[in-house]
Amino acid sequence: MVETPRILAFAGSLRAGSFNKRLIKIAVEGARAAGAEVTLIDLLDFLLPVLNQDDEDAHGLPENAKKLKALFVSHHGLLISSPEYNSSITGVLKNVIDWVSRAETADEPPLLAYTGKTCALVSASPGALGGLRALVHVRAILGNIGVFVLPGQVSIPKADEAFEENGALKDAQKQKSVQGLARKLVEVTRKLA
């Protein structure tokens, strides 16, 4: 059991005004309040080319992929806020997952950055389902590469109307649910790490 779980938090969006970037900050507050050491990153700071096996074979992992992978490896759990594009995961989030999964050396254990990690998922979308369809896909991908994804999740529908000017959710119960899920991630990670 680990006393202070390290959680890596990010939104699967590059957009400056992303609802999911707002939502992940609320989740981070909950994780920190539960005693976790949380690293909040912006994927805009880790831009990556689209994964191409030929480029990887010729040049190896891009520097930003190495940096991201090191962050994943050094944390016990993940806290992800996923937008929904066309009823699924965003291209940027899938690309990050794929690059971080790649081995840097021939003797590296498979899926080093994922196996045994915990994860909590939240989403926000202007649509009526709040990004739920994307979470189904994120959950399936992560579960298949060795991540324990908490069964609970929180989605925020009508995200374009959901946030206060200060970044909080207008619906206090939803705010509590997002932070409660993050606290649960910390509890589970503390036991499993």
**pLDDT attached to residue 114:** 98
* Residue among 186, 153, 156, 193 nearest 20 (CA): 156
Q: Which residue has the tokens 């499993």?
A: 192
Residue type, position 99, single letter = W
Strand partners, 169: 163
DSSP H/E element including 10:
strand 6-11
Whether 1 is covered by a domain: the verdict is no
Q: 150 pLDDT exceeds 90?
A: yes
Mean pLDDT for 175-187 is: 98
Q: What are phi and psi of 112, to 5 degrees?
A: -50, -40
How sure is the predictor about 193, in pLDDT bands with cuts at 50, 70 and 90?
Answer: confident
Range of the domain at 72: 6-192
CATH number at residue 128: 3.40.50.360
Tens of pLDDT, residues 111-141:
999 999 999 999 999 999 999 999 999 999 9
What is the spatial distance between Cα 104 and Cα 115, in angstroms, rounded to a whole number? 16
Whether 104 is covered by a domain: the verdict is yes
Q: Radius of gyration (Cα) for the chain, nearest Å?
A: 16
DSSP character at residue 42: -
DSSP H/E element including 133:
helix 132-144
What is the spatial distance between Cα 21 and Cα 55, in angstroms, rounded to a whole number? 30
Whether 29 is covered by a domain: the verdict is yes
Residue 2: count other Cβ atoms within 10 Å of its Cβ. Answer: 13
Strand partners, 78: 8, 119
On whether the CB atoms of residues 69 and 100 are closer than 8 A, the answer is yes
**pLDDT attached to residue 18:** 97
pTM above 0.95, yes or no: yes
Q: Collapse the DSSP code of 8 into the 3-class scheme (helix H, G, I; strand E, B; otherwise coil) and give the result.
A: strand
Q: 1 pLDDT exceeds 90?
A: no
